[in-house]
Amino acid sequence: MNNPYIYIKGPCNLKGTVEVSGAKNAALPCMATAILTKSNVCLKNIPEVEDIKIMKKALEDFGALISLDKGTLSLSLKEIIKPVIPTELSSKWRASILTLGPLLARNGYAKVSMPGGCPIGDRKINFHLEGLRLMGADININMNSIEAQCQRLKGIDYTFPDVSVTGTENLIMAAVLAEGKTILRNCALEPEIADLIEMLKAMGANIRGKDSRNLEIEGVKELQGCNYRIISDRIEAGTYLLLGAMPDNELEIKGVNINHLSSLISVLKECGVSLDIDKDSIKVCGKVGLNSINVTTAPFPSFPTDLQAQITAFMLFLKGVSRVEEKIFNNRFQHIKEMKKLGADLELKENFALVKGVVKELKGNCLKASDLRASAALVMTALKAKGETRIYNAYQLLRGYENMPGKLRALGADILLKEE
């Protein structure tokens, strides 16, 4: 599409049921895990979003035969032909780094580009590289390219200096085929890690300590194929939950893992949202006059940075001044200046924003999405603004939300993906 943008005509009151798709951030490492075996891997509940299509392309370049149909991905990588990710792919897609650990573990050689600059802030990969080097990889960084080689990787005892989601995933994938035992300490606890571990166990990996900060991995010589279903997307679910809690909306969100959303659920309860929670679905009904809140992002199980922009949109409809602090990424407030263009009243301080509940009507405008989650937050705000809004750089939304315009249209929104 040429210069795609999202067109919204508001205000829209949303009503109905929405089904949550598979988790992008679980599907990406699980797809990278398929590199570790010569056997067939079948993954279900794969969301058909742009980031997944890029991972598919990278795996095909390595030599994999892949089919992706209605969320089912079948993959076979009998022989690794070209373990290289070209700069054009890496520069727009950070998940390329997830292929480094498994390529080294199975193939002993990989060349991937340094993941490109990211609009949400510094996204270092020093823990990934440090861990792999300790396992015996020889890693050279030349300009933008990471070239790494090794004999069989060796088990290590490594403590992450800080919690890293993809860092934990990369070292787990490297360790499962390494010689001997690996102990990884201070690992991330995000549900996507547990999903990766479940998939690896189904392939024959020996991993102990799932859902704890410390993992023990006994390397095996080879892994078999598997048939595995990816968890549902807690960030997509959280986005629709926040949308449903906005005034005059009434949604049922289906396919939710409630345990993955407990921090968001307690924040919503705190400000007075009434929720009807069932085993794997939540009904939420938005109303005006709810209490303001303070939210600070932190690694799981605390409030996710990936919902920070969306809760900022929700705060615009609360009574009084809310506060939202970002503790994971140092530049993840770019939605603020775009929300102001709709007439919202927000003040950005260093790593926090003060959000004044709506006193006047929001009005449609031309906006630019800086990143994936910011684009969702702009859609949420624009749906409540009067008149037409165009959100440019729509590619960002398509990177991680499966068919969001279509799902919103089914709930009554006047929203279209258009191009110029």
Q: Which residues are catalytic?
A: 118
The CA distance from 112 to 100, in Å, is 7
Q: Which of 33, 45, 113, 164 binds ligand EPU (CB under 6 A)?
A: 164
CB of 247 to ligand EPU, least distance (A): 26
Contact call for residue 234 and ligand EPU (CB under 6 A) = no
Which residue lies nearer to ligand EPU by CB, 33 or 164? Answer: 164
The CB density around residue 17, as the number of other CB atoms within 10 Å, is 12
Binding mask 16-55 vs ligand EPU (x if CB under 6 A, - otherwise)? ---------x--x---------------------------
Contact call for residue 128 and ligand EPU (CB under 6 A) = yes
Residues in binding contact with ligand EPU, number by CB under 6 A: 23
Contact call for residue 232 and ligand EPU (CB under 6 A) = no
Q: Which of 125, 193, 273, 383 binds ligand EPU (CB under 6 A)?
A: 125
- The span of 32-40, 160-168, 200-208, 404-412 binding ligand EPU (CB under 6 A) equals 160-168
The backbone region for 288, taken as left when phi is positive above 0, alpha when psi lies in -120 to 50, beta otherwise, is beta
- CA distances to 261, 294, 318 from 266, rounded to whole Å, are 9, 12, 16
The CA distance from 167 to 126, in Å, is 9
Which 3-state string (H, E, C) describes 147-160?
Answer: EEECCCCECCEEEC
Contact call for residue 166 and ligand EPU (CB under 6 A) = yes
Contact call for residue 126 and ligand EPU (CB under 6 A) = yes
Binding mask 291-330 vs ligand EPU (x if CB under 6 A, - otherwise)? --------------xx---------------------xx-
CB of 159 to ligand EPU, least distance (A): 13
CB of 226 to ligand EPU, least distance (A): 21
Contact call for residue 398 and ligand EPU (CB under 6 A) = no
Contact call for residue 124 and ligand EPU (CB under 6 A) = yes
Residue type, 248: D
The CA distance from 251 to 70, in Å, is 25
Contacts of residue 15, defined as CB under 8 A and 6 or more positions apart, other chains included, come to: 249, 250, 251, 411, 412
Contact call for residue 236 and ligand EPU (CB under 6 A) = no
DSSP 34: G
- The span of 61-69, 122-130, 380-388, 409-417 binding ligand EPU (CB under 6 A) equals 122-130
- CA distances to 1, 2, 395, 402, 409 from 420, rounded to whole Å, are 9, 6, 13, 22, 21
Sheet bearing 157-159, strands edge to edge: 157-159, 181-185, 215-218, 206-208
**Hey, what are 58's tokens?**
């990278």
The two beta strands, 109-113 and 84-85, are parallel
SS3 content of the chain, % helix, strand, coil (to 5): 35, 30, 40
Contact call for residue 162 and ligand EPU (CB under 6 A) = yes
Which residue lies nearer to ligand EPU by CB, 32 or 178? Answer: 32
Which residue lies nearer to ligand EPU by CB, 127 or 314? Answer: 127
CB of 329 to ligand EPU, least distance (A): 6
Q: Which of 165, 175, 215, 282 binds ligand EPU (CB under 6 A)?
A: 165
CB of 416 to ligand EPU, least distance (A): 23
Binding mask 333-372 vs ligand EPU (x if CB under 6 A, - otherwise)? ---------------------------------------x
The CA distance from 291 to 276, in Å, is 19
- The span of 159-167, 195-203, 266-274, 316-324 binding ligand EPU (CB under 6 A) equals 159-167
Residue type, 388: E
**Hey, what are 355's tokens?**
């959000």
Considering only CA atoms, which of 220, 222, 264, 229 is closest in space to residue 243? 264
Q: Which residues bind ligand EPU (CB under 6 A)?
A: 25, 28, 94-95, 122-128, 162, 164-167, 305-306, 328-329, 372-373, 400
